Amino acid sequence: MDVQKLYQQKLVSAKEAVKVVKSGDWVDYGWCCNHPYDLDIALAARKDELYDVKLRGGVTMWVPEVAKAEDAADHFTWNSWHCTGADRKVIQAGVGYFAPMRYSELPRFYRDGNATVDVAMIQVTPMDAHGNFNYGLSASHLADMLSVAKTIIVEVNENQPWVYGLTGSEINIRDVDFVVEGSNPPVAAMGAAGEPTEIDKAVAQKIVEEIPDGACLQLGIGGMPNAVGAMIAQSDLKDLSVHTEMYVDSFYEIAKAGKITGKRKALDKGRQVYAFAAGTKEMYDYINRNPDVMCAPIDYTNDVRVIAQIDNFISINNAIDMDLFGQVNAETAGTRHISGTGGQLDFVMGAYLSRGGKSFVCMSSTITDKQGNLKSRIAPVLNSGSVVTDPRSCVHYLVTEYGMVNLKGLATWERAEQIISIAHPDFRDELIQEAEKLHIWRRSNKR
């Protein structure tokens, strides 16, 4: 097979490629930094010719062009698998919706026919000598999504890093319908985290003290996981490894500090395994053709059964709020959607099943509202409309700046006592009164 000849036969402009999209189609943009750029612009330009075109994406790094027009909702509907600020803007503009999921199940949605794909268009690396395009920063669910797509369009971006991976990280020219040579924009970056607050540092210190040498790390997005990463990079810990959903700059900083070797890892020894990445250009340069880093499909990275096979697995994730029963909300502010379940529940469960594993859900004890009022993030019950990301039966460790508690094996009254002990002191008496009304407070509890 002459791959170069095949490439030239399939090479078209973005304007020509998007002509395959018809009214009523489902169009999949892939995931995060793989969302198309020039193809999106070209599709948006066809707005007046189309109606009821339904699009999918996730962890969106910029507002898609198809969602920017004043009358965009008359032509396009954006569906996000996991919300970012860009997705929230699209939803608030009335052009989009959220699609709830446990991220590890996403590939199966395509395999089982729950997610139809008429046209798929994603960013990829330039083709190699064997006719392969690498998915770059994301493996995620892309292989399964492309396997059911009726038409596949790849948009080549010379700036996409080539990341080694398992099956599901590349597509061959023979399986592609159209190739578009894009304008090669810089790969979308997620800015480096700002300086951690004193609360971030206090929470991070408590968690780092629980991490043994040889541990395997998963870090979520946010200030506190970043603070943990920074503290690990400056610690005396050694022979750490990585198995995570999202690869963030913290892992690069820990690796740069010489703390990651993967020597004690039971699976994928020596490899930092992840499903998708977003961060700074420095991090992208680090993972580019780096044999120490491996991108894998999400139903591998987030599979509870896989995670459980890795000893001393340490999972660290953020929460928005929690209640006295131990239910954790990490995705909404009441009915307003913020992010998604993602892989948090997968890692909460998987880490606990790991021999020596620990799952930490962390947050500051309070938040200041727009009126300047201090409010407790620990409530008697979750706010109306709040989503339970982690059921009370699954939560392991909860951490605030006031302490760390292990909820495993505790009755409701014990849970209430422990959770109140890490609440802000100004709210503890009120929480005790509410716990009494809920019949989850014993007279013998400490006051």
Q: Which residues of 170-180 are buried (b: 16+ CB within 10 A; e: fewer)?
A: bbebeebbbbb
Indicate the DSSP class of residue 182.
-
Residue labelled with tokens 């009755």: 411
**Per-residue pLDDT at 333:** 87
**Per-residue pLDDT at 185:** 96
**Per-residue pLDDT at 336:** 85
**Per-residue pLDDT at 192:** 61
Q: Which H or E run contains 204?
A: helix 198-208
Domain boundaries, the chain: 3-181, 198-437
**Per-residue pLDDT at 193:** 61
**Cα distance between residue 18 and residue 5, in whole Å:** 22
HSE value, Cβ hemisphere, 13 Å, CA-based, for 211: 29
Q: What is the dihedral of CA 108, 38, 186, 93, to 10 degrees?
A: -70
| Two structure tokens written together for 315 | 């999972």
Tell me the CATH number for domain 198-437.
3.40.1080.20
- Beta strands (DSSP E) in 162-252 are 170-172, 178-181, 216-219, 241-242, 246-247
DSSP of 68-110, one letter per residue? TSTTGGGTEEEEESS--HHHHHHHHTTSEEE----GGGHHHHH
**Cα distance between residue 222 and residue 94, in whole Å:** 27
**Cα distance between residue 274 and residue 218, in whole Å:** 9
Distance of CA 411 to CAs 41, 407, 414, Å?
Answer: 55, 9, 5
| DSSP-derived pairing of the beta strands 328-329 and 246-247 | unpaired
**Cα distance between residue 355 and residue 250, in whole Å:** 24
Among 156, 216, 212, 164, smallest CA distance to 187 is for: 156
Catalytic residue among 65, 155, 245, 331: 245
Instruction: Let me know how many helices (H) and strands (E) the chain has, helices first.
Output: 15, 26
- Work out the end-to-end distance of the chain between its first and last CA atoms, rounded to an integer number of angstroms: 76
Distance of CA 183 to CAs 37, 156, 244, 412, Å?
Answer: 8, 9, 31, 58
Please return the burial class of 327, using the count of CB atoms within 10 Å of its CB with bins 0-12, 13-18 and 19+.
Answer: buried
**Cα distance between residue 173 and residue 184, in whole Å:** 19
Divide the 447 residues of the chain into consecutive groups of 10 and give the mean pLDDT of each group: 95 98 97 97 97 97 94 96 95 95 97 97 98 96 98 98 92 98 94 78 94 96 82 94 96 96 95 96 96 97 97 96 96 87 95 98 93 94 93 97 98 96 97 96 73
> Dihedral sign, CA of 229, 194, 287, 61?
positive
> Structurally, what CATH architecture does the domain formed by 3-181 represent?
3-Layer(aba) Sandwich (3.40)
Task: Evaluate whether 21 touches 36 at the Cβ level (below 8 Å).
Answer: no
| DSSP-derived pairing of the beta strands 397-400 and 358-362 | parallel
User: Is 245 a catalytic site residue?
Assistant: yes
**Per-residue pLDDT at 150:** 98
pTM of the model: 0.94
**Per-residue pLDDT at 446:** 64
Residue labelled with tokens 């947050």: 363
List all residues 6 or more positions away from 436 whose beta carbon is below 8 Å from its beta carbon. Answer: none
Give the type of residue at 87: D
